[in-house]
């Protein structure tokens, strides 16, 4: 029986790392995509049973095409690569906004377009996009980030309808405030304030998100497509 393959973009750290570890434990062959975190990616790869690393900028179509060509029959794609952008809306540079959309939105489009033909041909596949609860409710001083994540939710719902007849499932996970490097800028006071607003009274852990992703990729979610699953401790 062929070992199933998962490709995780931005897989070297934080949520991506936890996703790679979760799929590895389930017996998947794991492709750890990264762009800049060379050491972290290799360290993670060395710790997993069946895994490889592949350096590619998801915002670059040619690099994406080369990566997917090296692994033509991907069973699960996890579009996790993303960047954050914090600041008052009219003070953020156009260059920063463009970079954010290139990774958060167009990176996901590039990856999905690259893997879809094989999934459609095989009439099998699962795509999980990592959005954010801010894509649902918005966040002050993270306007562009929120907008890019909202776009992923719309993309997920529309694509699920389009490729459903080909038995390809597309779902979305919306993490809340997760304890990763992306939130390292928060002060202790800010963290405490956030925790007070979360019904489950703690920050999320990367493994919380990974468990949701693993479920949506599994046969247990075989009749789930176009779903938006919040992993936020009840925040939204």
Residue of 34, 145, 167, 223 with catalytic role: 145
SS3 116: helix
Max distance between CA atoms of the chain, in angstroms, equals 55
Residue 77: strand pairing partners: 7, 127
Residue reference for tokens 């790392």: 17
Strand order in the sheet with 51-55: 51-55, 29-34, 5-8, 76-79, 125-130, 168-175, 228-231
Please confirm, yes or no, whether 145 is among the known catalytic residues. yes
Residue 5: strand pairing partners: 29
Positions marked catalytic: 145
């Amino acid at each position: 029986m062929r070992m199933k393959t998962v490709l995780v973009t931005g897989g070297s750290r934080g949520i991506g790392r936890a996703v790679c570890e979760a799929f590895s434990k389930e017996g998947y062959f794991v492709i750890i995509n990264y762009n800049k975190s060379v050491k972290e990616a290799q360290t993670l790869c060395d710790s997993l049973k069946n895994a490889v690393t592949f350096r590619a900028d998801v915002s670059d179509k040619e690099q994406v095409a080369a990566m997917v060509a090296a692994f033509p029959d991907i069973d699960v794609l996890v579009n996790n690569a993303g960047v954050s952008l914090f600041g008052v809306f009219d003070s953020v540079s156009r260059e920063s906004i463009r970079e954010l959309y290139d990774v958060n939105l167009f990176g996901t489009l590039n990856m999905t377009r690259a893997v879809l033909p094989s999934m459609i041909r095989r009439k099998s596949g699962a795509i999980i996009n990592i959005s954010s609860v801010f894509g649902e409710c918005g966040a002050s001083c993270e306007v562009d980030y929120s907008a890019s994540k909202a776009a992923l939710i719309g993309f997920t719902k529309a694509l699920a309808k389009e490729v459903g007849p080909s038995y390809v499932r597309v779902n979305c996970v919306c993490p809340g405030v997760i304890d990763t490097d992306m939130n390292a800028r928060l002060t202790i006071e800010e963290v405490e304030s956030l925790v007070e607003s979360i019904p489950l009274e703690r920050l999320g852990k990367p493994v919380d998100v990974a468990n949701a992703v693993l479920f949506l990729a599994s046969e247990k979610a075989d009749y789930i497509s176009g779903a938006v699953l919040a992993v936020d401790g009840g925040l939204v």
